Amino acid sequence: MGVKKVVREQELHTVCEEAHCPNIGECWGHGTATFMILGDTCTRGCRYCAVNKGMPTELDLEEPSRLADAVVRMGLSYVVITSVDRDDLSDGGATVFAECIERIREQSPGTAIETLVPDFQGNPAALKTVLDARPEVFNHNVETVPRLYRRARGGGVYETSLEMLERARVLAPWMVVKTGMMLGLGEETSEVLTVMRDLVERGVDILTLGQYLRPSGWHLPVHRFVHPDEFEELAQHGEAMGFAHVEAGPLVRSSYRADRQLLRSRLASGLTDLAQTG
């Protein structure tokens, strides 16, 4: 059944639509989608993101069941679950992430799950809630270099994101840990390489690097368009540093063909259950 039809019927949100992803046609045609839970309104005002901003008014407790139903109806072997920031909730919505994983496990036990989570304001108990649900891949994006956090990522703290990724590696050593960055916001190559080293030191397995594209006039302008050759060079640097895989290119996004990213990595030999997602 078509992705759009199922998403509409189950009253779900996708980051593909909400974030104006340039790859929506390819991914939906491939039968994959990144579901965005906890509503469509984010409590933070990041200047790079197209998702609605404001104060959410409710929490949909039936969402995990509807999401699991959608996964079954679409026949997904790999699903990505992300969310808006919900700083209005004591656990940032971590319990709902866990419930989504549990419902999918019950209804579609063969589906591999990737969670792309917010920083939960550094709440270690919230992080543990998600990890205890045992997704195959734990993803949290650092987004940009530390110098640009105040301008681009309001409410985010670079050190908090690093600590979150490191804790995920320590608490769940069997899990694939992943993160992503946008380029073209004004970062220097030396700063990107420093972040990459920080991530390798904390045990991150997979890194995605993509071009920042301005969603509207309110959002930060594009400082420059990074040449594809530069993306390729950064990917080579990253894999030499120790990442299992670096997916890099102008249209790469954190959840873009996430199943393929995982299978391209050096971790793929131990993930035979995913082999058919190609």
11-48 confidence digits (pLDDT tens): 555 555 444 555 444 554 555 668 889 988 888 877 77
- Report the range of poorest mean pLDDT among 3-7, 193-197, 214-218, 249-253: 3-7
Q: What is the pLDDT of residues 54-90, one digit of tens each?
A: 888 778 889 999 999 988 988 888 889 999 889 999 9
CA-nearest of 94, 29, 157 to 102 is: 94
Q: Using the predicted structure, report yes or no on whether residue 227 has a pLDDT greater than 60.
A: yes
**Range from 21-25, 215-219, 223-227, 248-252 carrying the lowest mean pLDDT:** 21-25
Q: Give residue 147's pLDDT.
A: 96
Residue 276: is its pLDDT beyond 50? no
CATH label, 3-271, candidates 3.30.365.10, 3.20.20.70, 3.40.50.1390, 3.40.50.12780 = 3.20.20.70
The pLDDT tens digits for 121-172 are 999 999 999 999 999 999 999 999 999 999 998 788 999 999 999 999 999 9
pLDDT, one tens digit per residue, over 249-259 is 998 988 777 77
Domain ranges of the chain: 3-271
Check: pTM over 0.75? Answer yes or no: yes
